[in-house]
Amino acid sequence: MDIFEKNDKRTHYCGTLTSENIGQRVCVLGWAQKQRDLGSLIFIDLRDRTGIVQLAFDENTDREIFDKAFSVRAEFVLCAKGVIRERATKNKNIPTGDIEVVVDELKVLNKAQTPPFDIADGGDVKAELRMKHRYLDLRRPEMQRNIIARSQITNLTRNYFNENGFIDIETPNLIRPTPEGARDYLVPSRVHKGNFYALPQSPQIYKQLLMYSGFDRYIQIARCFRDEDLRADRQPEFTQIDMEVSFTTEDELMEINEGFMKYIFKNFMKKELETPFPRMTWHEAMERFGSDKPDIRFGFELNNISDIVAGSEFKVFAGAVQNGGSVRAINVKGGAKFSRKEIDSLTEKAKHYHAKGLAWLKKSNGEISSSYAKFLTEEENNKINERLGLEDGDLILVVADKNKVVFDTLGALRCECAKRLGLLDPMDFKFLWVTEFPLFEYSEEDQRFYAMHHPFTAPMVEDYQYIESDPARVRARAYDIVLNGTELGGGSIRINTTEMQENMFRVLGISKEDANEKFGFLLEAFKYGVPPHGGLAFGLDRLVTLLLGHEDIRDVIAFPKAQNASEVMSKCPSYANPADLAELGIAIIPQDEE
């Protein structure tokens, strides 16, 4: 192998060379993507993060260099110097396809074994293999584009908020454990044996304290941690675009963040967004779409048919209404093309949301087939079909159950049907604000109320009078920004008075003693003048994923965790040294003693 020396400095990145560089002497550095031996000619595609350029070796090449080029294999690390010339055979598929480097100096800086998968091809590689060799996976052009795009979006974010008077402030990553819904990651303290820090689920309390401190407009690209089950759009550690503003209202915060999205789309996507974004209350979103993060790129809205079937002799429908639930349906336009097998698969999907079953009716070529029509009267069927606007080619799906089950099931099925019908264009961006969430949600299992967002969210002014007498009636001054069925960010106006915060804790079953123990420093700060304030946090990982048209946030994170929250490359998490545990005052309980 050759030595990399100070005179081997790169003059150009591979992908930046053009016809304007013809005749220039260059030095390029990178990895060999492919070597082609044509006998008297050898070509090597050299790759770096900007693209590839062809290296050419011919009969005029020094024999030692020619032989060295012959030995090159995929992923060898090379330094090549030479003169740019026009290619005899041009390649229109790459930006550098009109030129090549005629090499007169070649260094093999490092050799490589055959990779476990083809980096150039980037084909169908199993996720586990990609994660095990993530450093190779990240060499793939698609992954490099993703990570570079993430960097660009992050820089644009900082630019926008800096231009709008926000101050970038870091908050601690070692904090006091606090209840925020998901489990904390705990960090033992060596100095304070038996005590623990938590990694922040969000900078929530600290950014509110910054408002108390008079900074007025705060922004942070914040690392956050939640010990929860993973999905395609979740990781145990993730990044938030976190902001907070003093002396503000919901309208101003929405305007600021619409401006942010407009700025990102103009400068990164080269698209103009129309603002303001549409708004919809939580109640309307649930009634129309069965979801608090509805995808509005297509229809298939929910229709409540409970009034039609409440007195029906078909007990499946009538019983759901009598038990306090509802019967609702969606009309999947064009869904009549689904086979019986496909409809059965939709039924199985419905069961994932605890639905007992899925009733259906479809009209194809004037003929109606149905799983439920024979159990209803002609009048009931006609009313349902009229309300749903049944036409030839349509498929009606009906769920009868408790409202939560009905909403969850039909909310998921409308999206699944849209996906199967090819209606989900990832580059068709539809934004929506969902507002006026319930302040509390009731747990039947625990027989108590929980904060739907967090315990620092302010109630709607007109609903505050019911906070103790009828908590379920109280709406929150909360808002989510939704993009194509994904919650992109969420926020709220915060509580800023001691009385209101204490009332909130009381409804949540947090005693004064517990409140002082967990949030005493926050309540103490309330005594010294807290401004009205509110904020919002975007998921940076989700934002980048959606802008690039991907489905899995692992594609835009350099070193993500696998489905079981492990990192297979470094085999993390791992066991700790017993001596280190002893110093921390920690003992591991064997499995059979749990």
Ordered by start, the domain boundaries in the chain are: 6-110, 144-279+432-557, 298-424
Residue ranges of alpha helices (H) inside 352-486 are 378-388, 403-420
Tokens 């070649």 appear where? 106
Average pLDDT, integer, range 203-213: 96
Joined together, the tokens standing for residue 447 give 């027989």
CA distance 145 to 140: 9
CA distance 492 to 437: 10
Quick check: 94 and 52 in contact, CB under 8 A?
A: yes
- Structure confidence at residue 594 (pLDDT): 46
Average pLDDT, integer, range 337-358: 96
CATH number for region 6-110 = 2.40.50.140
Q: How far is CA 104 from CA 26, 171, 218, 493, 545, in A?
A: 11, 53, 55, 66, 43
Average pLDDT, integer, range 68-73: 96
- Structure confidence at residue 125 (pLDDT): 86
User: What does the angle CA 359 – CA 360 – CA 363 come to, to the nearest 5 degrees?
Assistant: 165
Average pLDDT, the chain: 94
CA distance 522 to 526: 7
CA distance 527 to 530: 8
* Backbone φ and ψ of 418, nearest 5°: -60, -40
> What is the separation, in whole angstroms, between the first and last Cα of the chain?
55
Note the pLDDT tens digit of each residue in 430-455: 999 999 999 999 888 888 899 998 99
- Structure confidence at residue 165 (pLDDT): 98
CA distance 10 to 33: 18
Instruction: Answer whether residue 232 shows pLDDT above 80.
Output: no
The superfamily (CATH) of domain 298-424 is GAD-like domain (3.30.1360.30)
pLDDT-based confidence at 310, cuts 50/70/90? very high
Tell me whether strands 279-281 and 431-435 are parallel, antiparallel or unpaired. parallel
C-alpha dihedral (440, 445, 446, 447), degrees to nearest 10 = 70
* Omega of the bond leading into 426 within 30 degrees of 0 (cis): no
pLDDT-based confidence at 181, cuts 50/70/90? low
Note the pLDDT tens digit of each residue in 246-280: 999 999 999 999 999 999 999 999 999 999 999 99
Average pLDDT, integer, range 390-398: 98
Tell me whether strands 486-493 and 478-483 are parallel, antiparallel or unpaired. antiparallel
Average pLDDT, integer, range 23-29: 98
Helix 340-351 and helix 403-420, axial crossing angle in degrees, nearest 10 = 140
Residue 176: how many other CB atoms lie within 10 Å: 16
- Structure confidence at residue 590 (pLDDT): 81
* Backbone φ and ψ of 147, nearest 5°: -70, -40
Query: Which string of b and e fits 502-516 if b means at least 16 CB within 10 Å?
Result: bbbbebbebeeeebe
Joined together, the tokens standing for residue 119 give 């980096």
Instruction: Answer whether residue 474 shows pLDDT above 90.
Output: yes
Average pLDDT, integer, range 390-394: 97
- Structure confidence at residue 443 (pLDDT): 86
More confident residue, 154 or 584: 154
CATH number for region 144-279+432-557 = 3.30.930.10
Joined together, the tokens standing for residue 337 give 């093309």
Note the pLDDT tens digit of each residue in 123-176: 688 888 999 999 999 999 999 999 999 999 999 999 999 999 999 999 999 999
pLDDT-based confidence at 234, cuts 50/70/90? confident
Between 9-18, 385-394, 518-527, the lowest mean confidence (pLDDT) is in: 518-527
- Structure confidence at residue 545 (pLDDT): 96
Joined together, the tokens standing for residue 556 give 């835009």
Of 75, 83, 74, 77, which Cα lies nearest the Cα of 55?
Answer: 83
Average pLDDT, integer, range 19-26: 97
- Structure confidence at residue 564 (pLDDT): 86
Between 360-369, 424-433, 494-503, 585-594, the lowest mean confidence (pLDDT) is in: 585-594
CA distance 556 to 567: 16
Instruction: Answer whether residue 179 shows pLDDT above 60.
Output: no
Q: In what order do the strands lie in the sheet with 367-370?
A: 302-304, 326-332, 395-401, 359-364, 367-370
Tell me, yes or no, if the pTM score tops 0.85: yes
